[in-house]
Amino acid sequence: MPPTPPSATDQLRRLLQRYDELRRRLGFPGDFGERAFRGWLTLDVLQPCFGWPSDRIVFGEVYDLLLLSRVRQPVVTIETKIPKHRPTHADIAAFEGRLHHYGTLHYAFFTDGYIWRRLELAAPDGTQIVLADDEAALNDDARLTDLLQPLHAGRY
C-alpha cells in the first residue's frame, strides 16, 4: 500500500513559515521572494501532495508554473506571488489576459500561498470561457482542501 501523501495545507503552512524565517536573512531584492516560494510550492506541495512528476512541470516567466497532462498538454497553470502580496488589478488582468494562449487549460490558480483563487476553464468551441471562479484562504482548511482538489496529477 503506498504511503498517504502529506496534507497540502500542512505543507503550505510549513513552507510559508520557512519563507518568513529565511526572508529576513536571504531576502536580497529580486532574488528570493516569489522564486523561492514557487520552488518550495513545487517541491513541498505539488510533488508529494498531488503527485506531479518533474517531467510534467514547466517553470516559466509568463506562466509561472504549467502542469502538463500525460500527453504533454497544459492543463493547470499556477501564478505565484510573493507571500502576503495582495495582487493589484493589473496583476489580475495580466494573469487572466494570458490564459487564452492554452485552450487545453482546465484550471488556473493565482496564489501568494495564503490566499488561493481558482478559475475553472473550458474552450468548447475554441474560445476559452470561465466556468467558475472560487477563492479560499489557508486558514480555512476544509475550503482550501476542496479548492485544491483539481491539482491531483492523476486526474490528467
Tens-place pLDDT, residues 41-96: 999 999 999 999 999 999 999 999 999 999 999 999 999 999 998 889 999 999 99
Of 31-35, 102-106, 137-141, the poorest mean pLDDT is in 31-35
Pairing outcome for strands 115-122 and 107-111: antiparallel
Question: Which of 24, 33, 22, 7 has the alpha carbon at shortest distance from 112?
Answer: 33
Q: Which cell is 145 given?
A: 482542501
Task: Enumerate residues 6+ apart whose C-beta is below 8 A from 68.
Answer: 56, 57, 58, 74, 75, 156
- Judge whether 110 and 92 are in contact, CB under 8 Å: yes
Q: Which of 93, 92, 101, 109 is nearest to 127 (CA)?
A: 101
Q: What is the pLDDT of residue 5?
A: 79
Q: According to the model, what pLDDT value does residue 1 have?
A: 64
Q: How far, in Å, CA of 27 to CA of 32, rounded?
A: 5
- What is the C-alpha separation between 130 and 119, in angstroms, rounded? 6
Contact 104, 68 (CB under 8 A): no
Query: Phi, psi at residue 119, to the nearest 5°?
Result: -105, 130
Task: For residues 131-144, give the mean pLDDT.
Answer: 97
**Per-residue pLDDT tens digits for 67-76:** 999 999 999 9
**Nine-digit cell string for 85:** 502580496
The confidence score (pLDDT) of residue 102 equals: 95
Q: What is the pLDDT of residues 21-42, one digit of tens each?
A: 988 887 667 678 889 999 999 9
Structure confidence at residue 73 (pLDDT): 97
Rounded mean pLDDT, 127-141? 95
Q: What percentage of residues in the chain have a pLDDT greater than 90? A: 83
